[in-house]
Amino acid sequence: MKQKIRLLQRRTVHYLLAVTYWLTKRLPIQPKKVVFATYRSDRLVDNFRAVYDELERRDLGYEYVFLLKRFPQSLAGQIQYVFHMMRATYELATARYFIIDDYYYPVYVSSLREGTEVIQLWHACGAFKKFGYSVLDKSYSPDDDYLKMVQIHRNYSKVYVSGEACIAPYADAFGMEQKRIYPLGVPRTDQLLNTARQARVREKLYDRYPEWRKKRIILLAPTFRGNGQTTAHYDQELDFEKFRRELGPDTVLLLRMHPFVLNPPVVPDAYADQIINMTDYPDINDLMQIADILITDYSSVIFEFALLQKPMIFLVNDLQSYKAERDFYFPYETFVPGPIVSTFEDVIAWIKRGQFDTQKIETFANQFFTYQDGEATKRIVDHMLYDTIPEAPVYTKTSV
């Protein structure tokens, strides 16, 4: 019964959005209207921020609409979500550029009119965990009734990815032709490669946390388990007492949990000076720049961290079940550029040992970034507006 009610709700929303688009596409397209739309954040950050700043710098006279909204998982939140999607559908029907960074339902409901371009700035770098049409045979996949109703990931005019190695995986995930996927980079990585910004970030964080200045910084940034916001969790056991005892007071652990996680680790007050929850800190790029070592699992943050040429440790105790549930585009065991361990105790041992394969990290970065010049935003905006592509990569990559 619940499944039937849910299907009816989906069909009702789908019909509302289809009708909304059919009505509003009779209005003229506004040639200077650029829309930024996401459910990932309430703020203009990451790729959106970089592209917006570049457009503003060029002073082209664009008018901007920001549909930046996360909704609570409640009845009131669901109602707000429906009205927000109707508004987004109107903005889509009348926009010149509609820029998204994730799955965005209103884009998939109707065939889009000529003159509007949907630009997909996917939030993750590289090609790591399978998603979209690549997981139809996995439990992570949307259900069949949903896929019969809506063609997910359709209507993208241009998709931008970090490197050529990502084109085939993204084409498979989006069910689209490879020729509309462009390996021009990821805008937010420009910050990581800007040495002046790196210095400013360090001083900003050291001013805020002066006790970090002469300490080793470990960043723990895993992804979530589960199928989405309503089931997201993280169950790895973290022994904070052992971390302090084994690594001493000169090592700080920053926790950066995925925002979907419903059960984040609780840091006892006794360790609050050394184990610090930075989940709400607005820019993970800052934390990566100040960190000496990254601990993660299946998070695409590994691609950005590889650009910094710093070591990583992969803490996973559910690899086989994760493969069965979702899987990867490349074999995990040989793909990740660092040691794979199953316990936090093993993590501590690797940190104490301090022996990491820097050549493997460099090779990994070269595989998944066609360019490493800090000019991704400029390239993407040039291509978005004028269809211009550089004649040759600035950086020569190693093939996968």
Query: Each residue of 95-143: pLDDT tens digit?
Result: 999 999 999 999 999 999 999 999 999 999 999 999 999 999 887 777 7
The pLDDT value recorded for residue 391 is: 64
pTM recorded for the entire structure: 0.90
The label of the residue with tokens 């889009």 reads 112
DSSP assigned state of 271: G
How is 17-33 classified by DSSP, letter by letter?
A: HHHHHHHHTTSPPEEEE
Q: 2-187+372-386 and 191-368: same fold?
A: yes
Is 3.90.1150.10 the CATH classification of the domain at 2-187+372-386? Answer: no
The pLDDT value recorded for residue 396 is: 44
The parts of the chain modelled with pLDDT lower than 50 are 394-400
The pLDDT value recorded for residue 234 is: 85
H-helix segments, 25-69: 46-58
Rounded CA separation 161/126 (Å) = 7
Q: CA torsion 220→223→229→231, rounded to 10°?
A: -100
Domain ranges of the chain: 2-187+372-386, 191-368
Pick the CATH number of 191-368 from 3.40.50.720, 3.40.50.620, 3.40.50.450, 3.40.50.12580: 3.40.50.12580
Query: Each residue of 377-392: pLDDT tens digit?
Result: 999 999 999 998 776 5
Rounded CA separation 32/62 (Å) = 5
- The percent of residues above 70 in pLDDT, for the chain, comes to 96
Rounded CA separation 118/94 (Å) = 12
